[in-house]
Amino acid sequence: MGLTVAIVGSGPGGFYSAAALIKEIPDCRVDIIDRLPTPFGLIRAGVAPDHQSSKKIAKIFERTAQAPQVRFLGNVEVPRDVSIAELRGLYDAVVLATGAPKDRRLGIPGEDLVGVYGSSEFVGWYNAHPDFKELAPDLSTGTAVVIGAGNVALDVARLLAKTGEEVRATDMAHYAADAIDVAPLADIHVFARRGPLQAAFTHKEVKEFGELDNAVTLVDPAVLPGEDVALEDKGRGSQEKNIGYLREYARNKGDEKPVRIHLQFYAMPVAVLGEGKVSAIRMERTRLTEDGKVVATGETFEVPCNIVVACIGTQSMPLDNVAYDERNQRFQNQDGKIEDGLYVAGWAKRGPSGTIATNFPDGSQVAEYAKALVPDAFKQGPAGLDQLLADREVRVVTFEDWKRIEAAEEAGASHGAPRRKFTTIPDMLGSLG
Ligand SMILES: Cc1cc2nc3c(=O)[nH]c(=O)nc-3n(C[C@H](O)[C@H](O)[C@H](O)COP(=O)(O)OP(=O)(O)OC[C@H]3O[C@@H](n4cnc5c(N)ncnc54)[C@H](O)[C@@H]3O)c2cc1C
What separation in Å is there between the alpha carbon of 314 and the centre of ligand 1? 11
What separation in Å is there between the alpha carbon of 348 and the centre of ligand 1? 9
Which of 310, 335, 357 is at the close of a domain? Answer: 310
Domain CATH number, residue 376? 3.40.50.720
Which of 291, 310, 329 is at the close of a domain? Answer: 310
Q: Which of 73-77, 301-305, 350-354, 356-360 has the lowest mean pLDDT?
A: 350-354
Same domain as 73, residue 128: no
Q: Where are the beta strands (DSSP E) in 212-333?
A: 215-219, 259-264, 267-273, 280-288, 294-304, 307-310, 314-315, 324-325, 330-331
In tens, the pLDDT along 363-373 reads 999 999 999 99
How many CB atoms neighbour CB 399 within 10 A?
17
What separation in Å is there between the alpha carbon of 78 and the centre of ligand 1? 16
Same domain as 66, residue 214: no
Same domain as 46, residue 17: yes
What is the domain range of residue 359?
A: 4-101+316-430
What separation in Å is there between the alpha carbon of 368 and the centre of ligand 1? 23
Residue at 138: amino acid letter: D
In tens, the pLDDT along 167-180 reads 999 999 999 999 99
Ligand 1: list residues with CB < 6 Å.
Answer: 8-14, 33-36, 41-42, 46-47, 51, 54, 77-78, 97-99, 123, 152, 155, 319, 346-348, 354-356, 358-359
Same domain as 114, residue 262: yes
Same domain as 116, residue 96: no
Same domain as 277, residue 249: yes
In tens, the pLDDT along 175-194 reads 999 999 999 999 999 999 99
Same domain as 344, residue 248: no
Band of pLDDT at residue 231, cut at 50, 70 and 90: low
Q: Where are the beta strands (DSSP E) in 84-199?
A: 93-96, 102-103, 116-118, 143-147, 187-191
Percent of the chain with pLDDT over 90: 93
Number of domains, the chain? 2
Same domain as 356, residue 288: no
Same domain as 52, residue 186: no
Same domain as 84, residue 32: yes
Which of 310, 336, 360 is at the close of a domain? Answer: 310
Give the H or E element holding residue 155: helix 151-161
0.85 exceeded by the pTM? yes
48-67: average pLDDT: 97
**Considering the chain, what is the average pLDDT of its residues?**
95
Using left for φ > 0, alpha for ψ between -120 and 50, and beta otherwise, residue 256 falls in alpha
Same domain as 183, residue 78: no
Domain CATH number, residue 120? 3.50.50.60
Same domain as 195, residue 268: yes
